[in-house]
Structure 1
Amino acid sequence: MPTPQDHRRPFFVVLNRRSGSGDADATEQAIRAELDAASYPYRLYCVRHPRELGTLAAQAVAAAEEQGGTVVVAGGDGTINAVVQAVLPSGLPLGVLPQGTFNFFGRCHGLPEGDVGAGVRGLLDAREARVQVGMVNHRVFLVNASLGLYPELLERRELDKRRFGRHRLVALLSGLRALLGDYPDLRLSLCGDGRTQLRRSTTLVVGDNRLQLADIGIAEAEAVERGRLVGIVLPPLARWRMILTAVRGLFGHLGDVDKVDSFAFTELEATLPHRRHIKLAIDGEITRLPLPLRFRVAPQPLRLLVPNRPDSA
């Protein structure tokens, strides 16, 4: 059951000033104004370059452990992921102020978007919810982890965002443009829940976010509410069929496409012949991990602060 938030636990706020398309100064000022007005104890850690994120997240966790506090993160799904990576082993509660482009994690858990002040006020009167976290090897993921075509799409999307701005339309058009390029050809060995299968694929996506899975039309979306993850395997397709598949995904019908395989599981191991490492996209950020990849649910849930509404208790 959710538990009430202790109103005097100090906040240690990790703010990624590079997340989203909003005004970073205004976001910082809104956080300070709300906490100062409430005379609430806090310390702010401002991330001005991506390489600082892990270090500042670790500092915030250490300070929160020492002072019995709560870590808060303001940023997009990738920033939230990095902070959860530091928070989860500590068992500390986490507050989230979504600031990204899609904000699947925040929207899935009913966290306010856009109005930073409302988000901070919500944290001051919040309850705890236990939230499932996915793992691939030693890395956490909250929305999805993927290999193959999807990481390539994300790399192109980031380049286009830097050129044209961090907007959802830019992200969508960039993804469609990337589909006109070359596709990976993965020969996957998938072992999970007592069976092994060999699959040719352009993309393997493992999802842990009910909202995103439902948005693209995956029937197993509700399985993540029952302690499972969801795998999606996209087979090699002709270019026109790949574009049609992507469009159908945008309109919530990916699960209806022939040859797109989706399945719920508890643990899954993925290997590729003659490969030792592979590029992955984890909650929108690109990384490389050693093979085999082992997907599973983290043994401990995340203690997430969520709005304290009577109808959600």
Structure 2
Amino acid sequence: MSPSLLLLNRGSGGNERGLEADEVCATVAAAFRETGRDIESKIVEPGKIDAVLREAVKAAPASVIVAGGDGTVSAAANHLGGTGIPLGIVPMGTFNLAARDLGVPLDITEAAAFLAKAEVHAIDVLDAAGHACLCTTILGFYPEFAKTFERRDHGGHWWKKTFKLITALPRTFRESRPIHLSWQGEGLDGRARTKFSAFVPGRYRATAGLVPARTDFTSGNLTAYIGRQRHATAAFRGMLDYIFGRQEENPELTMFQAPALELRAGRRQHLSVMIDGEILRLPLPLKLAILPKHLHVLTTAENLAPAP
């Protein structure tokens, strides 16, 4: 069997928090050797991850392990989806949403040991206008808000950024421009005035916590969460509902599932969209579609089990 390949993104936030690239590579290699598996390591400079991933697909390694944040993981999913080459994640970003969803420990040594023994499973991917989304696609005030503090606080701790979001929410929400969103899908046709909407492959677990967690990794559906709050106080209550795991009970939240959707925003021609932490300006209409079991990942069946 060909060896696995570890690609470490030197531009990830973890490097700025003191994680040494060479030490991370050595830790992962040692864990793989303990299970009798070979792995090669490559440290990738910022901006070159896509080119390196293209070469990796041509080489067809046993698996590709990426060490980086959610943007790096999303890039890997773009290239590895449909190839059958499994993707493993060493969490070195800020929020590490994809790693959390797949049950990968956030400690580097524990993550390496987990990946060395993990199984290969296929999961759905959300195609968002040609971009692979493993966690969430967000419209509204949050992409522009996140762009501001990411320029200033790249590589910071997730809880600090979450605290900044919560404290800045009233003013940011009040000043943001609403989207007159409309959607069409199989048997679906609706519209809403929204300042925050999220589209998730599978759905969010209705559990308490600051960081969202997903379930239903092979349902063949995305879940739309469209907030209809008009005032900052209502938006703050909506955030509290989410933190305490009762978002599905919020009367100002439109929630539905579909295998595919087409989104429009009135006369707007483009929208700022956050896809797994990466902020893009995309043309409208925005097409979202679930690609069933499109990506193979390293995890366990227990971590992918549907939430009750």
5+ residue gaps, structure 1, are 1-7
Tell me the equivalent position of 1:167.
157
| Cα 1:307–1:204 shift into 2, 3 Å | closer
1:271 aligned residue (257, 264, 269)? 264
Tell me the equivalent position of 2:13.
19
1:101/1:166 contact within 8 Å kept: yes
Deviates more, 1:288-297 or 1:89-98: 89-98
Cα deviation for residue 299 of structure 1 reads: 4.4
* C-alpha distance in structure 2 between counterparts of 1:142 and 1:104, whole Å: 9
Q: Which amino acid aligns with 1:98?
A: P
RMSD of aligned alpha carbons: 2.7
TM norm structure 2: 0.84
Cα deviation for residue 170 of structure 1 reads: 1.2
| Cα 1:214–1:131 shift into 2, 3 Å | farther
1:239 aligned residue (232, 244, 247)? 232
* C-alpha distance in structure 2 between counterparts of 1:131 and 1:11, whole Å: 20
* C-alpha distance in structure 2 between counterparts of 1:143 and 1:211, whole Å: 9
Tell me the equivalent position of 2:275.
282
| Cα 1:38–1:198 shift into 2, 3 Å | closer
* C-alpha distance in structure 1 between counterparts of 2:41 and 2:75, whole Å: 16
Cα deviation for residue 140 of structure 1 reads: 0.9
Q: Which amino acid aligns with 2:24?
A: T
2:238/2:247 contact within 8 Å kept: yes
* C-alpha distance in structure 1 between counterparts of 2:37 and 2:196, whole Å: 46
Q: Secondary structure at the match of 1:105?
A: helix
Q: Secondary structure at the match of 2:48?
A: helix
Q: Which amino acid aligns with 1:166?
A: G
* C-alpha distance in structure 2 between counterparts of 1:258 and 1:308, whole Å: 34
Q: Deviations over 1:210-263 (max 9, x none)?
A: 45665579xxx7555522111011124212222232233223232222211111
* C-alpha distance in structure 2 between counterparts of 1:155 and 1:232, whole Å: 21
1:106 aligned residue (94, 99, 102)? 99
5+ residue gaps, structure 2, are none
1:136/1:295 contact within 8 Å kept: yes
Deviates more, 1:270-279 or 1:119-128: 119-128
Deviates more, 1:134-143 or 1:205-214: 205-214
Tell me the equivalent position of 1:3.
none
* C-alpha distance in structure 2 between counterparts of 1:247 and 1:151, whole Å: 20
Taking the TM superposition and a 5 Å limit, the aligned residue runs for 1:80-99 are 80-99=73-92
Cα deviation for residue 117 of structure 1 reads: 3.1
* C-alpha distance in structure 2 between counterparts of 1:156 and 1:212, whole Å: 28
2:59 matches 1:56: no
